Amino acid sequence: MKRTLIALACVLFAGPALAQSLGEKTGVNSALGVSPSTPDFVKQVAISDMFEIESSKLAQQKGNAQEKSFAQQMIADHTKTSTELKGMVSDGKVQATLPTALDSAHQSKLDKLKNASGKDFSSDYNSYQISAHEDAVSLFDRYAKGGDNAALKDWAGKTLPALKHHLDMAKDLGKAPSVGQTK
């Protein structure tokens, strides 16, 4: 127990440099309120957009009416942010490498959705949407406040209200039954 506390204290007090090296993957940056590095931010945004688009394409096939409507907006909005991010990277405003595939955690969630149906699909999709948008709001908020690339920082701040709206919409999924609901 003592070793665990000492290890945790070392991580917490090592400061932003260590948190940056641990990246967003560990959640340390979020817990400490540390802005992600530009490469971490770009990577996480790109992966998040890919997951949102792919999982929402599944929801358009397998979801109920409410989920299909939500999914349509997620595909449109996250395609837009993905295009904007790619544009900033390709025109040199942002120095980072865009990932071309999901990381293993997101791929695992997507695979689970591919194999689910009915209430199981809805439960997983809805929960993943809430979680993904909570993470995105935190990520964009921290970068908008402390990011090191002015263009990307401005974009993060302008994108944040839409992500907060997405989170509110995700939290409402499954609360009100839709007319003509399908399973």
pLDDT (tens place) for every residue of the chain, 183 residues total: 555 444 444 444 444 333 333 454 555 555 656 789 999 999 999 999 999 999 999 999 999 999 999 999 999 999 999 999 999 999 999 999 999 999 999 999 999 999 999 999 999 999 999 999 999 999 999 999 999 999 999 999 999 999 999 999 999 997 755 455 454
CB of 181 closer than 8 Å to CB of 64: yes
The CATH architecture one would assign to domain 35-172 is Up-down Bundle (1.20)
Helix (H, G, I), strand (E, B) or coil at 1: coil
CA distance 168 to 180: 23
Residue limits of CATH 1.20.1260.10 in the chain:
35-172
> How far is C-alpha 51 from the chain's CA centre?
8
172 contact partners, CB below 8 Å, separation of at least 6: none
